[in-house]
Amino acid sequence: MAFDIDMIKKVYSQMAERVDAAREVVGKPLTLSEKILYNHLWDGKATKAFTRGKDYVDFAPDRIACQDATAQMALLQFMQAGKDKVAVPTTVHCDHLIQAKEGAATDLKHANDVSSEVFNFLESVSNKYGIGFWKPGAGIIHQVVLENYAFPGGMMIGTDSHTVNAGGLGMVAIGVGGADAVDVMAGMAWELKFPKLIGVKLTGELSGWTAPKDVILKVAEILTVKGGTGAIVEYFGPGATAMSCTGKGTICNMGAEIGATTSTFGYDESMERYLRATDREDVADAANKVKEYLTADAEVYANPEQYFDQVIEINLSELNPLLNGPFTPDLSTSVGNDMTEKAKANDWPIQVEWGLIGSCTNSSYEDLSRASSIAQQALDKGLKMKAELGINPGSEKVRYTADRDGILGIFEKLDAKIFTNACGPCIGQWARYSDPKNAPKNSIVHSFNRNFAKRADGNPNTHAFVASPELTAAIAIAGRLDFNPMTDKLINEDGQEVMFDEPRGWELPPKGFEVKDNGYLAPVEDGSGVEVVVSPTSERLQLLTPFEPIGNEIKGAKLLIKAFGKCTTDHISMAGPWLRFRGHLDNISNNCLIGAVNAFGKKTNFVKNQLTGEFAGVPDTARAYKAAGIKSVVVGDHNYGEGSSREHAAMEPRHLGVAAVIVKSFARIHETNLKKQGMLGLTFANENDYDLIQEDDTFNFVDIASFSPDKQLTLEVVHADGSKDTIMLNHTYNQAQIDWYNEGSALNLIKKQNA
Ligand code: SF4
């Protein structure tokens, strides 16, 4: 089963009634985003209008997708929920743990050797619980989702921030943390703050060297990396309908780079063509029957200012090809002279050493075919590559078809490396250097989405610029950052001046898509007999043990760390090399809070162990308290836990015996994650009380036994000299969340309810 047509038909069958009811309560015409959101309310038909940017709403997503790095902890948690099967269609995609070095065949074999334990685990859990499994090499999660599962008007969540890519097929698709995915897998609702809406009207038409990538690079320039926060970006207008479905995917994909909740487009003929080309005639037929519900009401796009919180208009006919970067995706520069000046002023290396085409952002058949039309011209016009070129096809279906049609062969004639159908250089899985930290300053151009320092190759001195695949190809051939293919000539091997013609390509393969083995493994019907094997000596995987309830007596808890200033989920649970331990709670807990600055001494990972009086790292100190049967407390500043929705940032302190995190204020997702893990996430009623906390403090939670909604908790803070302060703590727990606390975690409660 590649996709679930019955599920899709069910979504469409309820659409008219639910959307009409929503229009009634909202009292005005609806955007596409609102139609999709209101059609996916957990409680069914809307009975009231929700306030954008304010109300928290329970939704019922149609699908879930997980990638291999985040799926490990998500599935380990799901295994604790006591369910036989996932409650909604779910897939797992092995794409992040594959390094790019020699080329696809060698690299894939290497990944299968070094990560076989993780892949086997994910495959067996998928098989057991009814989850579709995409093997290593099958493709990048978001390209595979677009090709197989995305459908107009659907709602999905995925444990990866670029899940938003599926907006290219008219979905509301949102990246979430593993804990949220587990809730939905276990049959619970998924909560989201009702988003604000940004409308982007696309007029004019893309032509010549301008590509869908340039649209989102322009939007990033306008909105910056924070401009989309808390909003759905809805694209419309003649420029939108004239664009391919995969081009729309590129635009939605990089919505993550402007912080948007997600992005989407209304259903149109390009989507219908794509559905039919990817063997989903029945989805296209079903969508055609509810067409008017798969786009906004006509009045909305006619007068967008009245219906969106913000409206941007871009004339595609006036858009220039852009290069965004380095180090941030919103710093945009037009090709050519602008770049010459800017590079000089900023000391960016003008020589380009690599061009990389692919990633989930730009790895469609259309992308590869347009880039190959430039590569073919290099061959025809006698041009030699001045930089190296690497290609990551988005899926085996795209790779096989592009190979059949001679596209990959063109790149290979230019000595390009064809890497595995996987993330590779896009996520730092690129063995470019033996010692990246000391590697030289250089520039690269790629068609990926992110270009933060070290993102591609671990080298802090690599200046990465983001561009369309066709511009990436041209710049890699020219070897210069300031090359403008629309005006500049190159000297070929015969000493002649030559110019590139405009790129050409096919929206869809003229001979249709083809694939021999797409890399999909369907789960068995009855997974009860499937054994999930995790070696007790594994350093990468560890079965979870249910957390014991913290209980209604917390006395003599010790201060573990008083975090000073910014403390994001990265400070609490670092990424980078720790990625390999994402499936092993005890091992990854060795990074717990090691990035947080201790308010006493202003150092990181250096806190006082009150039992010995000595200073040590945070994880070691927490383990010492836990071994002594003593609970510990973390104190923090404002917006504690901002950043990603990484559940490890809550699970690690919980695992190490932290009973409570008390802060001036929380990032909301992290606060919820703490609640889900059965911990206390509390805020100072008087934020100046943060200053009362001293290095040797011990805490008594005076009235935790009567923990209840809307009632403050009292904390007795005992200082080293015996003096005491009594302070009040606020909390936002409702009764259901207090039940999580009482049971030890939300999953413990689900399991109990199942039993
Ligand atoms: Fe994330 Fe890059 Fe992989 Fe896309 S290709 S899923 S952005 S790592």
Cα 241 to the chain's mean position, in Å?
Answer: 26
Closest of 171, 172, 168 to residue 245, by C-alpha: 168
Atom of ligand 1 nearest to the CA of 427: 8
- Measured in degrees and rounded to the nearest 5, phi and psi for residue 454 equal 75, -5
Query: Ligand 1, atom 8: nearest CA belongs to which residue?
Result: 427
Q: Which atom of ligand 1 is nearest to the CA of 359?
A: 5
Q: State pLDDT tens for residues 30-73.
A: 999 999 999 999 999 999 999 999 998 999 999 999 999 999 99
SS3 of residue 337 by DSSP = helix
Range in 579-583, 630-634, 733-737 with the lowest mean pLDDT: 579-583
What pLDDT is attached to residue 454? Answer: 87
The residue among 149, 102, 147 whose CA lies nearest residue 424 is: 102
Ligand 1 centroid – CA 112 distance (Å): 19
φ and ψ of 324, to 5 deg: -105, 130
- The residue nearest atom 4 of ligand 1, judged by CA position, is 360
Q: Please report, rounded to a whole number, the percentage of residues in the chain having pLDDT higher than 70.
A: 100
Lowest mean pLDDT, pick from 232-236, 255-259, 374-378, 504-508: 255-259
Query: In the prediction, which pLDDT does 244 show?
Result: 98
Q: How far is the CA of 137 from the centre of ligand 1 (A)?
A: 14
Q: Say if residues 233 and 263 touch (Cβ distance below 8 Å).
A: yes
190-248: pLDDT as tens digits: 999 999 999 999 999 999 999 999 999 999 999 998 899 899 999 999 999 999 999 99
Span 276-308, pLDDT tens digits: 999 999 999 999 999 999 999 999 999 999 999
- The answer to whether 245 touches 169, Cβ cutoff 8 Å, is yes
CA contacts within 13 A on the Cβ side of 54: 4
In the three-class reduction of DSSP (H, G, I as helix; E, B as strand; rest coil), residue 89 is classed as coil
Q: How far is the CA of 451 from the centre of ligand 1 (A)?
A: 12
| Atom 3 of ligand 1: nearest residue by CA position | 423
Residue 25 has pLDDT above 60, yes or no: yes
Atom of ligand 1 nearest to the CA of 161: 1
Best residue among 68, 70, 134, 140 to mutate for probing ligand 1, ranked by most atoms within 8 Å of CB:
140
**% of the chain exceeding 90 in pLDDT:** 94
Ligand 1 atom closest to Cα of residue 363 = 5
Question: What residues flank ligand 1, with Cβ below 6 Å?
Answer: 95-96, 140-142, 160, 162, 359-360, 423, 426-427, 448-449
Q: Among the atoms of ligand 1, which is closest to the Cα of residue 142?
A: 6
How far is CA 258 from each of CA 229, 231, 237, 252, rounded to the nearest angstrom? 7, 10, 21, 10
Give the model's confidence band at 1: pLDDT under 50 very low, under 70 low, under 90 confident, else very high.
very low
Q: How many A from CA of 69 to the centre of ligand 1? A: 11
The 3-state secondary structure of 671-700, one letter per residue: HHHHHHCCCEEEEECCHHHHHHCCCCCEEE
Angle at 623 between CA 620 and CA 629, to 5 degrees: 150
Distance 426 CA to ligand 1 centre (A): 6
As a whole number, mean pLDDT of residues 715-733 equals 98
Gap from CA of 698 to ligand 1 centroid (Å): 44
The secondary structure of residue 395, as a DSSP letter, is: B
Cβ neighbour number for residue 234 with a 10 Å cutoff:
31
Q: Which residues are catalytic?
A: 95-96, 160, 450, 644, 646
Q: Which of 194, 247, 251 is nearest to 223 (CA)?
A: 251
Contact 325, 466 (CB under 8 A): yes
* Predicted local distance difference test score (pLDDT) of residue 754: 83
Across the chain, mean pLDDT equals 96
Cα–Cα distance for residue pair 587/72, rounded to 1 Å: 14
Between CA 25 and CA 641 the distance in angstroms is: 36
- HSE of 24, CA atoms in CB hemisphere, 13 A: 9
Q: Per-residue confidence at 138, pLDDT binned at 50, 70, 90?
A: very high
User: Do residues 114 and 444 make contact, with C-beta atoms less than 8 angstroms apart?
Assistant: no
Does pTM top 0.90 for this prediction? yes
Alpha carbon separation from 153 to 108, 286, 301 (Å, rounded): 35, 11, 17
Asked if omega into 329 is within 30° of 0 (cis), the reply is no
The CA distance from 508 to 518, in Å, is 18
Sign of CA dihedral 677, 56, 39, 281: negative
Give tens-digit pLDDT for 630-670: 999 999 999 999 877 789 999 999 999 999 999 999 988 89
Q: Tens digits of per-residue pLDDT, 661-714?
A: 999 999 888 999 999 999 999 999 999 999 999 999 999 999 999 999 999 999
C-alpha distances in angstroms, 260 versus 241, 386, 421? 21, 37, 27
Assembly ipTM: 0.99
| 8 Å CB contact between 729 and 712 | yes
Atom 2 (ligand 1): residue with closest C-alpha?
426
Q: What is the largest CA-CA distance in the chain?
A: 87
Tell me how far apart the alpha carbons of residues 587 and 595 are, in angstroms, rounded to a whole number.
16
Would you give the DSSP letter of residue 522? P
The Cα–Cα gap between 325 and 464 comes to 6
Q: Scan for tokens 């955007």, then name that residue.
A: 31
pLDDT at 428: 85
Tens of pLDDT, residues 397-410? 999 999 999 999 99
Cα distance between residue 335 and residue 188, in whole Å: 49
Q: What is the rounded average pLDDT of the residues 329-344?
A: 94
Domains of the chain and CATH, by start: 5-317 (3.30.499.10), 320-431+440-498 (3.30.499.10), 554-754 (3.20.19.10)
Q: Residue 578's pLDDT band (boundaries 50, 70, 90)?
A: confident
Pocket residue to mutate for ligand 1, from 144, 419, 427, most atoms within 8 A of Cβ: 427
